[in-house]
Amino acid sequence: LEGPVEQWLGVVERRMLETLRKELAKCHTANLNPKSMKKEKWVKEFAGQLLITSGQIAWTTDCFNALAKVEKGQKNALRLLKRTQTKYITKLTDMIRKPLNKVERGKLVALITIEVHARDVVLSLVNDRIEASTNFAWQSQLRYRWDEEQKDCFINICDAEFRYSYEYVGNCGRLVITALTDRCYITLTQAMRLALGGAPAGPAGTGKTETTKDLGRGLAIWVVVMNCSDQMNSKVMANIFSGLAQTGAWGCFDE
Q: What CA–CA distance (Å, rounded) separates 255 from 248?
A: 22
pLDDT of residue 34: 85
Confidence bin at 1 (pLDDT 50/70/90):
confident
Measured in whole angstroms, the distance separating CA 202 from the mean position of its chain's CA atoms is 24
DSSP result, the chain: --S-HHHHHHHHHHHHHHHHHHHHHHHHHHHH-TTTS-HHHHHHHS-HHHHHHHHHHHHHHHHHHHHHHHHTT-TTHHHHHHHHHHHHHHHHHHHHHS---HHHHHHHHHHHHHHHHHHHHHHHHHHTT---TTSHHHHTS-EEEEETTTTEEEEEETTEEEE-------S---PPP-HHHHHHHHHHHHHHHTT-------STTSSHHHHHHHHHHHTT--EEEEE--TT--HHHHHHHHHHHHHHT-EEEEE-
Q: What CA–CA distance (Å, rounded) separates 142 from 219?
A: 9
Going by C-beta distance under 8 Å and a sequence separation of 6 or more, which residues neighbour residue 82? 119, 122, 123, 126
CB atoms within 10 A of CB 200: 14
**Residues 176-235: pLDDT tens digits?**
999 999 999 999 999 999 999 999 999 988 999 999 999 999 999 999 999 999 889 999
Report the predicted TM-score, pTM, of the whole model to 2 decimal places. Answer: 0.93
**Residues 78-114: pLDDT tens digits?**
999 999 999 999 999 999 999 999 999 999 999 999 9
Model confidence at 36: pLDDT above 90: no
**Residues 144-167: pLDDT tens digits?**
999 999 999 999 999 999 999 999
Model confidence at 2: pLDDT above 90: no
